[in-house]
């Protein structure tokens, strides 16, 4: 990449190439549980560099509006959420979920100023235990997201999010890079309760040089990592990347499927959303307990925040003795924090002019091309991939295939499975 190309990829504010692309999609904004009941406390929300505030009004409706009052710029996070509006704590100006000023006490009910006062607001929906918002042109608002994890019953799904201190692109690149699993996650595959017991773990351990094949589909890419399996067969792990920021992790044995959404907070920080779901059964109590404890792709938090307990301020609680003994490859515990610690170590925005890509980075190179092509399509008013709900109906797959069978053919029934069917897994 040139420095100029890196700038285009990593800047996401309003008016930037990628920022305008991302605003064309429904954005995961916050967990529905963060606004647990009508008239509860408002929540600060920063997305794509915009400072916003979210609240659930008296009727249970959710609004996301500009954080700052139209009067003199006071943060409405300090406001009172009451009687279908958020009232500024400074002078009592009150705004509804659509950003309309519904009360301006200093001029009375019939004053001329109030009707002209309006804050920026974005429409919201609740799907899959998540509050989503749309930040793009109103006339281009797409259909609601139909990702499989969004559509399954709540008992079959677990959703978490965590703060990550680096640009969104570093996180996406890590999410579709299957080659690092053999090294970075080698210890966790043997011990984490949400990963153990898969024959694929053995193949990961034995074959440290996976071959990559990448295929396009309407919604994005199928990034397939091939390793040698038993009896002359190949073990394939196929990770769909759905434009602009969704990835689905191939399952291991009978464990739930995993998924991620990587959403820019600003250019130097992102939300890492982590999801586990199963298409045919409820999550078990031990699985939920493990997820809530930060196992698998989830994390434990600093109390009262979404900041991981392991973070840069404590060197991610690295254990050099565990690293030396081979219990963990990097000395950092936990799948997600193993990833986050190294992605954050690249700096807030990685300098990609210094990288040297190799064959296992084929998926990353193709993802960048598809993402840039989508951004150009948006700029030119052409159709965007991944907006149509039908293009979101894809599933990750782990499968053993004969050496002469292309993964697109052998895994098709698992990749584009009917809802309610069992995952294709090893």
Tell me the pTM: 0.95
Report domain 148-415's class: alpha beta
pLDDT of residue 108: 85
Q: What does the pLDDT average to over 30-53?
A: 98
pLDDT of residue 44: 98
The dihedral formed by the CA atoms of 41, 46, 52 and 54, expressed in degrees to the nearest 10: -30
What is the 8-class DSSP label of residue 61?
-
pLDDT of residue 186: 87
What is the 8-class DSSP label of residue 348?
S
Q: What does the pLDDT average to over 243-267?
A: 97
Alpha carbon of 416 to those of 163, 239, 243, 423: distances in Å? 32, 13, 17, 10
Query: Which pLDDT band, with edges at 50, 70 and 90, does 121 fall under?
Result: very high
Query: Which pLDDT band, with edges at 50, 70 and 90, does 309 fall under?
Result: very high
Query: Which pLDDT band, with edges at 50, 70 and 90, does 249 fall under?
Result: very high
- Whole-number mean pLDDT of the chain? 96
Residue 198 has pLDDT above 90, yes or no: yes
- Could you give the 3-state DSSP secondary structure of residue 139? helix
pLDDT in tens, 53-109: 999 999 999 999 999 999 999 999 999 999 999 999 999 999 999 999 999 999 988
pLDDT of residue 421: 96
Q: What does the pLDDT average to over 106-135?
A: 95
Ranges assigned E (strand) in 124-210: 124-127, 130-134, 157-164
pLDDT of residue 182: 83
Angle between the N-to-C axes of helices 335-345 and 168-175, in degrees from 0 to 180, rounded to the nearest 10: 130
User: With b meaning 16 or more CB within 10 Å and e meaning fewer, what string describes 350-370?
Assistant: bebeeeeeeebbbbbebbbeb
| Helices and strands in the chain, H and E counts | 13, 19
Q: Cα 184–305–134 angle (5° rounding)?
A: 90
Query: Which pLDDT band, with edges at 50, 70 and 90, does 188 fall under?
Result: confident
Residues of the chain with CATH 2.102.10.10: 26-140
Q: What does the pLDDT average to over 323-336?
A: 93
Q: What fold is seen in the domain 26-140?
A: Rieske Iron-sulfur Protein (2.102.10)
Query: Which pLDDT band, with edges at 50, 70 and 90, does 387 fall under?
Result: very high
> CA 384, CA 373: separation in Å to the nearest integer?
9
Residue 375 has pLDDT above 90, yes or no: yes
> CA 48, CA 64: separation in Å to the nearest integer?
14
* Strands ordered across the beta sheet of 26-31: 26-31, 130-134, 124-127
Residues of the chain with CATH 3.90.380.10: 148-415
- Burial degree of 110 (CB within 10 A; 0-12, 13-18, 19+): exposed
pLDDT in tens, 126-180: 999 999 999 999 999 999 999 999 999 999 999 999 999 999 999 999 999 888 9
């Amino acid at each position: 990449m040139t420095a100029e190309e890196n700038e285009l990829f990593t800047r996401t504010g309003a008016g930037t190439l990628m920022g305008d692309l991302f605003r064309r999609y429904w954005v995961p904004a916050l967990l529905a549980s963060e606004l647990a009941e009508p008239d509860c406390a408002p929540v600060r929300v920063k997305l794509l560099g915009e400072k916003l505030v979210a609240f659930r009004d008296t009727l249970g409706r959710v609004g996301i509006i500009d954080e700052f009052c139209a009067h003199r710029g006071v943060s409405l996070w300090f406001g009172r959420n009451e009687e279908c509006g958020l009232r500024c704590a400074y002078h009592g100006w009150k705004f509804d979920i659509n950003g309309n000023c519904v009360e301006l006490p200093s001029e009375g009910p019939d004053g001329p100023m109030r009707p002209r006062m309006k804050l920026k607001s974005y429409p919201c929906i609740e799907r899959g235990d998540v509050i989503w918002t749309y930040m793009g042109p109103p006339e281009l608002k797409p259909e609601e997201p139909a990702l499989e994890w969004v559509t399954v019953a709540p008992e079959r799904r677990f959703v978490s999010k965590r703060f990550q201190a680096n640009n969104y692109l570093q996180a996406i690149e890590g999410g579709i890079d299957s080659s690092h699993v053999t090294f970075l996650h080698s210890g966790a595959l043997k011990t984490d309760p949400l990963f153990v017991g898969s024959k694929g773990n053995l193949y990961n351990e034995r074959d440290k040089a996976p071959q990559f094949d990448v295929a396009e589909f309407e919604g994005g890419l199928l990034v397939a990592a091939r390793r040698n399996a038993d009896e002359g067969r190949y073990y394939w792990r196929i990770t769909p990347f759905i434009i602009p920021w969704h990835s689905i992790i191939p399952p291991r044995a009978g464990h739930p499927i995993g998924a991620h959404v990587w959403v820019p907070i600003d250019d130097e920080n992102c939300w890492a959303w982590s999801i586990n779901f199963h298409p045919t059964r409820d999550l078990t109590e031990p699985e939920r307990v493990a997820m809530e404890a930060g196992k698998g792709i989830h994390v434990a938090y600093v109390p009262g925040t979404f900041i991981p307990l392991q973070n840069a301020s404590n060197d991610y609680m690295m254990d050099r003795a565990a690293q030396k003994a081979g219990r963990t490859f990097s000395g950092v515990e936990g799948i997600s924090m193993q990833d986050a610690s190294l992605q954050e170590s690249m700096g807030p925005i990685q300098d990609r002019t210094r990288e040297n890509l190799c064959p296992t980075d084929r998926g990353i190179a193709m993802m960048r091309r598809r993402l840039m092509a989508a951004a150009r399509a948006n700029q030119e008013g052409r159709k965007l991939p991944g907006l149509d709900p039908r293009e979101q109906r894809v599933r990750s797959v782990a499968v053993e295939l004969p050496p002469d069978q292309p993964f697109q053919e052998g895994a098709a029934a698992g990749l584009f499975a009917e809802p309610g069917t069992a995952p294709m897994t090893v």
